[in-house]
A = this chain, B = another copy of it.
Amino acid sequence: MKKLSHLDAAGRARMVDVGEKAPSRRRAVASAWVPLAAETVSLLESGSLAKGDALAVARVAGIQGAKQTSSLVPLCHPLSLDHVAVEIELRSEPPGARILVQAATRGPTGVEMEALTGASVAALALIDMVKSVERGATVESVRLELKEGGRSGRWIRDGFEDPFPSPAGGPEESA
């Protein structure tokens, strides 16, 4: 029977003990979709030309947010991160911004929550940027797309195409 690993037998929250888990290369990618009015996408695009900071702010927020994961998500382990990258693609059909965040570590536990937190915070920064012109903007589908490393191995969401360059040596790991 399934159970929630973050609760002990008495239902009390605890941080899972990862002391027995071998360090290994781990990687995760998460995404978020922010549907927007076509006019807002145009504003973001022009705000990204020349010296425009529109998307840069969201990228920096996503990177910084991923680093804050263990102080935001109570049962996450603090861990070293080898890499965080945030990609934001403005789309016109349908209009919106597609956010992808990749996180990587060589620690004893996965970085799914780091990628998801990075995607959420980048999306929040984007909403903050456009809220003066589109108050009802929403964040849709914050979700894990890919997970590599650790005992449970690779998992990829159906239909996801991984745009990040594969790390040298590939996803194989020791655990």
Number of copies: 6
Select from chain B the residue with minimum beta-carbon distance to A58: B74
**Which residues does chain B contribute within 8 Å of A141, judged by CB atoms?**
138-140
Kindly list chain B residues whose C-beta atoms are within 8 Å of the C-beta of A108. 82, 106
Tell which of B14, B20, B54, B168 touches A85, judged by Cβ atoms closer than 8 Å.
B14
Interface residues on A, range: 35 or more
Q: Give the complex CA separation of A83 and B41 in angstroms.
A: 27
**Inter-subunit contact B133/A83 (CB<8 Å):** no
Closest to A23 in B: B106
Q: Mark A134-151, 1 if CB is under 8 A from B, else 0.
A: 011111111110010000
Task: Tell me if A71 and B67 are in contact (CB < 8 A).
Answer: yes
Given that A6-B128, A6-B129, A138-B142 are known contacts, is A71 also in contact with B64, CB under 8 Å in the complex? yes
Minimum CB–CB distance for A169 against chain B, Å = 8
User: Inside 8 A of A130's CB, which chain B residues have their CB?
Assistant: 4
Q: Of residues 116 to 175 in A, which have CB atoms within 8 Å of B's CB atoms?
A: 116-117, 120-121, 123-125, 127-133, 135-144, 147, 155, 157, 167-169
The 4 closest A-B pairs by CB, nearest first: A11-B52, A56-B56, A138-B143, A13-B53
Cross-chain contact A75 with B140 (CB below 8 angstroms) = no
A73 touches which of B19, B59, B121 (Cβ 8 Å): B121
Are A80 and B60 in contact, with the CB atoms below 8 A?
Answer: no
